[in-house]
Amino acid sequence: MTFNNLGFSPALLPLLLRAIEEKGFTEPTAIQYAAIPALLSGRDVLASAQTGSGKTAAFGLPLLQRLSDLPMRSGRTTSALILVPTRELAAQVGEAMVGFAKHLPRQIKVAVVFGGVSINPQMMHLRGGADVVVATPGRLIDLIDNNALTLAHVKTLVLDEADKLLDMGFADELARIMALLPAKRQNALFSATFAPAIEALAAGMMNDPLRIEIKPEPETVLPSSIFQRAIAVDAPKRTQLLRHLVQTEKWQRVLVFVATKHAAEMVADKLRKANINAEPFHGELSQGKRTQVLMDFKAKAVQVVVATDVAARGLDISALPVVVNYDLPRSATDYTHRIGRTGRAGVSGMAISFVSAATAAHFKLIEKRHGIKLVLEQVAGFEPVEVAPVNAADPQGTGGVKGKRPSKKDKLRASISKDV
């Protein structure tokens, strides 16, 4: 099974393959194999697939081929809109799209917009429009209200992690965005489940979609040679804590996982300023640079490598003593692949996860999926003070643990009280 026979244009295929290989892909995942031919043929796709299954490439690569056939953008327009629930996912999807498009003959402009930061730089970046806009719903509406963007020319709409979009209370924003889109467009909806709310959303926006359901992979058993730890820390203090641990615990080599290319560059730079020999490692580096970083890391010439998940699979470094999840992985399967870089070939290793108030519920899910329960440590001088945000879909902060979510009756009572 290869990318060669999925239906890509012969002219674009070698350019896309080059980008795919630089991202670490060797063959299509199940969701890519099922979704790419349908999207290339112009069909709508309704897909159920877990995080970490390769969804971004599944919708991103066909989207780029379609863009290559469209005229150049003009004004405050975009041809492709990708809606995601969180700023972290927006950054990851945007980074992936830039990487996939880097070798195409036509320069593809990708704009990533989300709330929690100043809107002005995002408005400036959208001058002249963008080929692809990756957005959280609230910030997208802010930009539309400020006349920074129009959706009148969107040809492709993607909802990524649609279940989370609804869980986080974006139903009203989605309805408003749908009303601003042209009726004739291609749609792709990706969700972890086909819950009734997802079915209703798909029915209202899609035309005879191909339905795809990819079963989640069984979790890999973690080797006993890996000693797992979790440390509570406020998100802004993670880099300081990482530096403290490297210096006080005298780690000779440590592989640090972050969510985005920007984070890899930023954390590595701050460590270097603290006289720690650190290098970033991500898909946007040239193959020569990535090879050199790994050679230096294996030779112990580099002490810390700060990597995105491009390094999570297939990376074999003998006797790697420590792995740190600076940013938590997006799935339990990714957790397995990340920490599995240590404790190999019978040699013991240690895996540490930084857990902030905002990510505590997600870490509980990872623990549940692996059947583990770690003591949440605190390091003197780095005791957390942040409080977890309240999730509208999970007000008790259970992380969606079965048995603690609101029942149907609870939801009905809530809706009635809200109407009153």
Q: Is the pLDDT higher at 82 or at 389? A: 82
Percentage, residues of the chain above pLDDT 90: 61
In this prediction, what percent of the chain has a pLDDT beyond 70? Answer: 87
Is 27 inside a domain boundary?
Answer: yes
Ranges 51-60, 218-227, 257-266, most confident: 257-266
Q: What's the confidence (pLDDT) of residue 402?
A: 38
Average confidence score pLDDT of the chain: 86
Look-up of token digits 């699979």: 313
150 and 236 share a domain? Answer: no
Please state which of the ranges 46-60, 137-151, 246-260 shows the lowest mean pLDDT.
Answer: 46-60
Statement: residue 419 has pLDDT above 80: no
- Domain housing 418: 395-420
Query: What's the one-letter identity of residue 162?
Result: A
User: pLDDT tens-digit profile of 193-204?
Assistant: 888 999 999 999
pTM for the model stands at 0.65
Q: CB neighbours (10 Å) of residue 356? A: 20
**Which pLDDT score, from 0 to 100, does residue 136 have?**
94
pLDDT band at 221 (very low <50, low <70, confident <90, very high): low
192 and 233 inside one domain:
no
**Residue 35 and residue 127 in one domain:** yes
Shared-domain flag, residues 206 and 240: no
CB-CB neighbours of 365 under 10 Å: 17
Q: How confident is the model at residue 73 (pLDDT cuts 50, 70, 90)?
A: low
Q: Which residue has the tokens 């000779």?
A: 252
pLDDT of residue 9: 92
Asked if residue 58 belongs to a domain, the reply is yes
Same domain, 370 and 403: no
Whether residue 323 lies inside any domain: the answer is yes
Q: What is the pLDDT of residues 339-384, one digit of tens each?
A: 988 887 667 899 999 999 999 999 999 999 888 999 999 999 999 9
pLDDT at 310 (0 to 100): 66
State yes or no: pLDDT of 54 exceeds 90: no
Q: In what order do the strands lie in the sheet with 78-83?
A: 110-113, 130-135, 78-83, 156-159, 186-191, 45-48, 210-213
* Angstrom distance (rounded) from CA 359 to CA 361: 6
Decide if 390 is inside a domain: no
Mean pLDDT, rounded, for 282-304:
86
Rg of the chain over all Cα atoms, to the nearest angstrom: 22
The CATH number given to whatever domain includes residue 168 is 3.40.50.300
Say if CB 103 and CB 283 are below 8 A apart.
no
- Beta strand 130-135 with 278-281: parallel, antiparallel or unpaired? unpaired
Domain-located, residue 97: yes
Average pLDDT over residues 376-404: 66
Whether residue 62 has pLDDT greater than 50: yes
Query: Of the residues 178, 213, 248, which one is the last residue of a structural domain?
Result: 213
Q: Is residue 99 part of a domain?
A: yes
pLDDT tens figures, 6-46: 999 999 999 999 998 887 677 888 999 999 999 999 999 99
User: What pLDDT, on a 0 to 100 scale, did the predictor assign at position 294?
Assistant: 86
Q: Which of 159, 180, 213 is the last residue of a domain?
A: 213
Of 156, 189, 213, the one marking the end of a domain is 213
Q: Choose among 162, 210, 166, 164: nearest CA to 186.
A: 210
Same domain assignment for residues 120 and 207: yes
Both 399 and 250 in one domain: the answer is no
Number of domains in the chain: 3
Q: Is residue 274 part of a domain?
A: yes
Q: Which of 155, 171, 179 shows the shortest CA–CA distance to 81?
A: 155
Q: Are residues 200 and 265 in the same domain?
A: no
Q: What confidence tens digit (pLDDT) does each residue in 300-331 have?
A: 999 999 998 865 555 667 789 999 999 999 88
pLDDT of residue 152: 94
Residue 129 and residue 34 in one domain: yes
- DSSP letters for 172-198: HHHHHHHHHS-SS-EEEEEES---HHH
Residue 389, in any domain of the structure: no
The arithmetic mean of pLDDT across residues 133-152, rounded, is 96
Residue 86 and residue 55 share a domain: yes
**pLDDT for res 101:** 93
Asked whether residue 249 falls in the same domain as residue 175, the answer is no
Same domain, 282 and 139: no
The pLDDT assigned to 345 comes to 66
